[in-house]
Structure 1
């Protein structure tokens, strides 16, 4: 069981129940022990009282020492016990069982009885637990002897042990029931929380259409309503933002096209090098702004789901070769080598050819941008279980640990001067997610970067 609310709730209830059951059973067992012991003591005392009453006249006539054996053997005791008649000095006058000890005056129970009160002794004799009850035999107010009962506690212990087992079994059932109930109660709390947590993680990852089902109208249900309302508002604002970006991008394209067209026209007509250089800058910047607008439109369309992907059979080896051929001349100009390690047995996959090519071009463009002259870029294609894996590795400047966590976020620009609009990797991530794949980056500053794409084969 994982650490958290569930574990705390279960263990809180369980420990409380265990403590309560243990305390309850300890009290009951203690009371049972007292009950059985008091019962035995009472039974032995009653036998002593009846014996004194039956031989009252003999005791008055001071015939105890003379007729002790006859009195002891003639009387019919109703209990299974060793009975001894003892004089006022502690000497045994008669015994129903053979005994090697002739003087018992040293025992506490006999001492108490000779002083006029009933004596008790719970001890072990010859390896057996016994209870000894000793009552005084009086002539008037004078104690002339005692009658001593020694009874085994084995039967009492057996009954007590059986009752203990029953109580322990009952306690175990109660604890088990409490564990099940506390687990059920904990689930009623933690399960909705887990659902809310999972939904919140999806919302945080950008899946704004996620909604949390409301099960009960309680505090957790109120939290679900609040998160659903928040997600709805964020989704609405995201939609408005995308609409605004798309609208502004479309509006900007027309003047940019005009600027670009006139810059090219005027550049061809001008003979002044100063004006030609200025117009070249205008033309270049127009192209850069137009590229940024295209990226904004692509990202807006992908995020809102309005850009439909055309899935068809795509050969990844062929796609990679085309992307490499397109960028090899640029790599040669920069003094870079582009290497390929392609497993041509990789099957065709269902994908949007143009969008996957856009992904590869984007990643290769980044690798070329951040790898100094004399470096290399390696593209690898291989199988991994039921996935096709495309890995693009370079030995360029790499990405710092602080930037690596955020480079896939939209509009995030690294510290490098070569950083672009901050949308390229975000678009790559959106396209790969739309293909039900995974995109990851591993990098260390100064040691290069590895971009990995995993696409399902079926």
Structure 2
């Protein structure tokens, strides 16, 4: 685990101080030791110089007297004095008997003194057993060298003094390091506190808590500038996030409310996003297809081919696909995104537009057909009259009656078209009043009973004793019932039955007209309320083909709905609902 910045700073600071103090302590200790040794050496050089000047006066005495004098002088000076003959034999020593001492011809200080006039050496004393500093020089009488004079002092005192100073330096170093450590803790805390505060703020920003952040970071100098920069960055980031969030919400609202399907794909063709329209069109669930390939989700290679073309060309590609035996017609637009970072696939359900286009074409064809027949008849009748039939009164009268009949058909067609146009455009004003629907049902049944009798059809009405009141325009509702019953009479063979009934359903009153006629094919059920639409087998049944379309718009103007149910060959039921008053 990585240590925090605070402890790394403290450790580095303490190591730096300890290193500096350690180096300084070593330097001071060595310098002190060298100073002590230099001072001691200078003293011994002076001592040996003085001693070498005294020796010639006593060296001529007897060996015992000479040795005794040296011992006495050494005791007074508190220093070891030694006189060595040129052959290395000890002549006198202030601490030992010369006879008991070994030959000193191999001593370094003795050799250096003979060679250069003075010799200095530190080594353990063979007779005393501890280390001493020796300084030797020549004893001369005129130009003659008589012997070598040597003085010595134990260096242990120097070492003891140095060790004492070292202990003092070590204690000072420890105190310095501790003080430096405390200072380092304070400095590191003051340096890292703003960093910790900014780190905590950064974590809250990363967690999305932008609106609740108040940046008040302690610190001066660079830290204060850093806090100001961080505060400015946070404010700009907050504004940017709000702008992005707003744009995202707008985009999300647009995508969710679009009727067209949207797929957002990555470079490889995997789905990153889709809207509700896409789920509805392809019967998908977003959670089950996110991350899956486009073709795997939609399971249609024609649609995927449009995407593959856009992927290969790097340009927008379009295509149309017909699904489920012509019942669904889709437009596909695949567009590469900026820098080829992905693809946008737009799926438009054009089924309704295609259906409306077909309705328009059928309307034009049907109205042309409906107008062509009476116009053709009128043209033939008038031409026949012009060619001489007008001279025969009986023939002319029959032709004029036929002309009147065709003109009535044209007038009925024009009237129904006008009514339909007025109802669809909202120009036809309904007189809606709370009332009982029985009256409209009885009037419609009475008007069409003679026609049903001539066709050999039984027309019956079944009404409950009590019915809830509804808001209706009686004349318009009667018109709807007349159209429905008249339609049932046309498509019910002789001996069939037609029944008008009523039932309540939730908050509506449902009126239905059931017949035992030829029925309606399933594919035509959704289109029977279109203008001029006729089931093929009923082409010869007469009528304009506008009655059911007018009925649909009248019912919708009442706030209700109308529908047809049928099993082909077993009759049909037309129903419409009206809201209760």
Q: TM-score, length-normalised on structure 1?
A: 0.49
Higher RCO (C-alpha under 8 Å, 6+ residues apart): 1
| Larger Rg computed on CA atoms | 2
